[in-house]
Amino acid sequence: MLSFIISLILGAIAGFAASYLMGEKSGMLKNILLGVGGGFVGRLIFGLLGFSANNLIASLIVAVIGACLCIFVGRKLFK
């Protein structure tokens, strides 16, 4: 249960950071979903490249990069 709560908090931080970096205005729920989804996408892409995030800071960086990628792709698909 604690790891789930930590994942949500990490996702919210990553989503907020990605939204700020990409100039996206969104609410807390969208930031959480964006951060959690970005974490998945980031881990997938970095895993394919042969990298892994082994601590909290590295996981946060990977999630922010993945969330930024999700925002970029979303903008290209829906505009």
Q: What are the CA-CA distances from residue 33 to residues 39, 50, 72 (Å)?
A: 10, 25, 15
1 pLDDT exceeds 80? no
Q: Find the mean pLDDT for residues 34-39.
A: 88
Q: List pLDDT tens digits, range 40-73.
A: 899 899 999 999 888 889 989 999 999 999 989 9
State how far the Cα of 72 lies from the Cα of 44, in Å rounded to an integer.
17
pLDDT band, residue 26 (cuts 50/70/90): confident
* Residues in CB range of 31: below 8 A, 6 or more apart: 11, 12, 15, 16, 19
Q: What is the predicted pLDDT for the residue at 21? A: 92
Spell out a b/e string for 49-67, using b for 16 or more CB atoms within 10 Å of the CB, else e: eeeebeeeeebbebbbbbb
Q: Find the mean pLDDT for residues 33-44.
A: 88
pTM equals 0.87
| All structural domains of the chain with their residue ranges | 11-78
